[in-house]
Amino acid sequence: MIQTRDLRFAYAGHAPLCFRDVTVPQGGNLLLRGASGSGKSTWLALVAGLLTPAAGEVVVAGQSVGTLPSGQRDRWRANHVGFLPQKLHLSGALTVQDNLALAYFAAGAPVDREAIRHALASLDITALAGRRPHQLSGGQAQRVALARAVLMQPQVILADEPTASLDDLAGQSALALLAQTAHDAGATLVIATHDARVRQALPQAQELPFDPLRQGVDP
C-alpha cells in the first residue's frame, strides 16, 4: 500500500509543492491526472524514494521511505518498487536483455534469464533482445523499460506517462501488462498520465487530480 501524510517538496528557487494526503490500499490502482507541471512526476519520485521530502511522511509497502539511508533505500526500491520514468534510462552500452538483467543486480539477486525471456515475450519484443537502445524506436524503448520495471514482481508499480510514445495497440498491450502484473502480484499500481486511453483501460482505478495552480510548478 501507499500512504503519504503532510507531504511537501520544494525545488530550489520554486514555491513548495504541498500534496494532499493519499492512501492507496495494497492491490489498488490510482491514476494521477493533471497537466504537465502539476507535480505528478515529483509525487512519484517521492513515493519511489528518489527524492527526499521537505516535510511529511511516505510509507510504501509498510516501509517509511524517508527513514532509510540512501544505500538501503536503493536496494529496497529495487526489490519492492517497479518504476517506469518518463526518461527511460536504458544503458546504451548494454543489450536489451542485459538492461533487464540490471534489475537483478540492483536488487542483489541472481539473474533469472527465463523471467527475462518471458517479460520480453509478453510485450512482443523478443526479437529486440540483442539490440542496444540506439537501435530501438521510441515505442520499442518504452516497452523495454516497462518490461524491466515489472520484472521483479514488485509490491508497488509506479508508471510515469507509460503510453506517451506508444500507438493504440502497443499502448493497450503496455497497460494490460501493467494491470495484469499488478493483479498477479497483488501489487499497488499508480499511473501518472494525461492520456484518456489509460482511464478507459483502468475504469476501476481511483483518480487523483493534480492542480498546478494550488500546488506549484514542477520544472
pLDDT over 90 for what percent of the chain? 53
Kindly state the cell numbers that stand for 214.
Answer: 494550488
Residue owning grid cell 527465463: 114
Rounded to whole angstroms, the Cα distance separating 20 from 18 reads 7
Q: What is the pLDDT of residue 214?
A: 46
Residues in the chain: 219
Which pLDDT tens digit goes with each residue over 114-139? Answer: 999 998 998 889 999 999 999 999 88
- Beta-carbon neighbour count of residue 146 at 10 Å? 29
Q: Pairing state of beta strands 156-160 and 188-193?
A: parallel
Residue owning grid cell 493497450: 172
Q: What is the pLDDT of residue 95?
A: 98
Q: What is the pLDDT of residue 70?
A: 84
CB environment 183-192: b (16+ within 10 A), e (fewer): eebebbbbbb
Q: What is the pLDDT of residue 129?
A: 97
The answer to whether the beta carbons of residues 124 and 102 sit under 8 Å apart is: no
The answer to whether the beta carbons of residues 58 and 65 sit under 8 Å apart is: yes
Domains of the chain: 2-215 (3.40.50.300)
Mean pLDDT by 10 residues, the chain (219 residues): 93 86 94 85 94 94 90 92 90 97 94 94 92 92 88 93 83 84 89 87 86 46
Which pLDDT tens digit goes with each residue over 51-69? Answer: 999 999 999 999 999 889 9
